[in-house]
Amino acid sequence: MGKMLGIKVPKKEAEKIRKQLLELNLLDVNFKIKHQNDFVIFPIKERIKGFEIIETTFEKATKRPHSYREVVNIPSELQPLLPSSFDIIGDIAIIELPEELISHGKNIGKAILKVHKHIKAVFAKGSKVSGEYRVRELLHLAGENRTEAIHRENGIRLKLDVAKVYFSPRLATERMRVFERAKEGEVVFDMFAGVGPYSILLAKKVKMVFACDVNPIAIRYLEENKKLNKVENLIPILGDVRKVAGQVKADRVIMNLPKFAHEFLKEAMISVRKGGVIHYYGFSHEENLFEEHLEKIEKVAEELGKNVKVLEKRKVRPYAPYQFNIAIDFSVF
Ligand SMILES: C[S@@+](CC[C@H](N)C(=O)[O-])C[C@H]1O[C@@H](n2cnc3c(N)ncnc32)[C@H](O)[C@@H]1O
């Protein structure tokens, strides 16, 4: 390798000088910095006044890849189809691959493991979320063939099986938003609790949480998560919320079943005390985000002889082209 320009600086000043060189765009980042006794030698792009300049050889820097896309072994014409991101639940990655990439899934999985050292298993989404339990099929791509993990979110730990229960790490911010709205002393009814991402979090703040789910595996994990997070003021209820509704009078009701929440509005309204708040979720086209949902909410309220007051309407996240998961918070009188 040919000789290059470098500047030799005392070790104790090296960090300060490195930052200055970077700022001035004079450091040649394609080469490795050299250490020599009490001195550091920086590869530089051009001569700089005021420093001891030496001519020397530098090793080429090995750049750490930032994305699995930089190391994946697939035909180059398919490269543009690679998703830029994937979900991470604990140490499990779940990626959504287009048809054309499914047969290259193993290599994609291996590339994810190579770049993200904390990920131990990679799966591809094998179907859409479906059925009463809102779960999807998963295809194992690489690493351990294990679907149970412990996910950290909003300061709590959630143990769950990604193949047997619903869980989306993308709702963490929304759950924190509800947590911030909730007040100490409240009773909360989480109608579709899953493994407890809302319930456990809220139990850390409010007086009591009733958490219902029809999936026995979700409730089993919810029981475990209660212990894992040392939460006592939470009552898991296994069953169809249609049978449970009305037996609880809550200050706050969470309806996190966006696909079907509109079918459960009566259950929510008979479970909330006068002046209490309902967090309603739905799916909408971007051209009509809230109207249809609001009409349904008002219709059910009228049937029950109640009034509603909308407190907040918002997009939670996009979930398909032009489609959004939306939230409407309203109080009932
Ligand atoms: C979209 S998931 C939400 C889970 C959880 N809140 C979360 O954020 O991860 C909806 C949950 O509702 C449950 N579910 C569906 N229909 C139900 C019903 N009729 N009664 C009680 N739970 C139901 C499903 O088993 C599923 O766990």
pLDDT digit string (tens) for 41-81? 999 999 888 889 999 999 998 878 889 999 999 999 999 99
Q: Which of 9-13, 223-227, 321-325 has the highest mean pLDDT?
A: 223-227
* HEC letters along 24-38: CCCECCCECCEEECC
251, 225 contact by CB (below 8 A): no
Domains and CATH numbers, the chain: 4-56 (3.30.70.2580), 68-146 (3.30.300.110), 166-332 (3.40.50.150)
Residue 84 in this model has a pLDDT that exceeds 80: yes
CA-based nearest residue to 192, from 249, 136, 259: 259
225 lines ligand 1 (CB under 6 A): no
Question: Cα(124) to centroid of ligand 1, in Å?
Answer: 22
Ligand 1 close to Cβ of residue 241 (< 6 A):
yes
> 303-317: per-residue pLDDT in tens?
999 999 999 999 999
Distance 191 CA to ligand 1 centre (A): 7
Instruction: Please give the pLDDT value at position 1.
Output: 61
Instruction: Please check whether residue 83 is in contact with residue 145, taking contact to mean a CB–CB distance below 8 angstroms.
Output: no
Q: Atom 6 (ligand 1): residue with closest C-alpha?
A: 193
Q: How far is the CA of 241 from the centre of ligand 1 (A)?
A: 9
Helix (H, G, I), strand (E, B) or coil at 246: coil
Per residue in 219-276, pLDDT (tens digit) is: 999 999 999 999 999 999 999 999 999 998 999 999 999 999 999 999 999 999 999 9
Of 303, 293, 305, whose CA–CA distance to 330 is shortest?
A: 293
Give the three-state DSSP class for 213.
Answer: strand
pLDDT reading at 319 higher than 90: no
266: left (phi over 0), alpha (psi -120 to 50) or beta: alpha
pLDDT digits (tens, 9 = 90+) for 161-180: 999 999 999 999 999 999 99
> What is the CB-side half-sphere exposure of residue 324 using CA atoms within 13 A?
15
Residue with the smallest CA separation from ligand 1 atom 12 is 192
Query: Measured from the CB, is residue 215 less than 6 Å from ligand 1?
Result: yes
> What does the alpha-carbon distance between residue 60 and residue 192 come to, in Å, rounded to a whole number?
55
What's the mean per-residue pLDDT of the chain?
96
Backbone angles phi, psi at 305, to 5 degrees: 70, 30
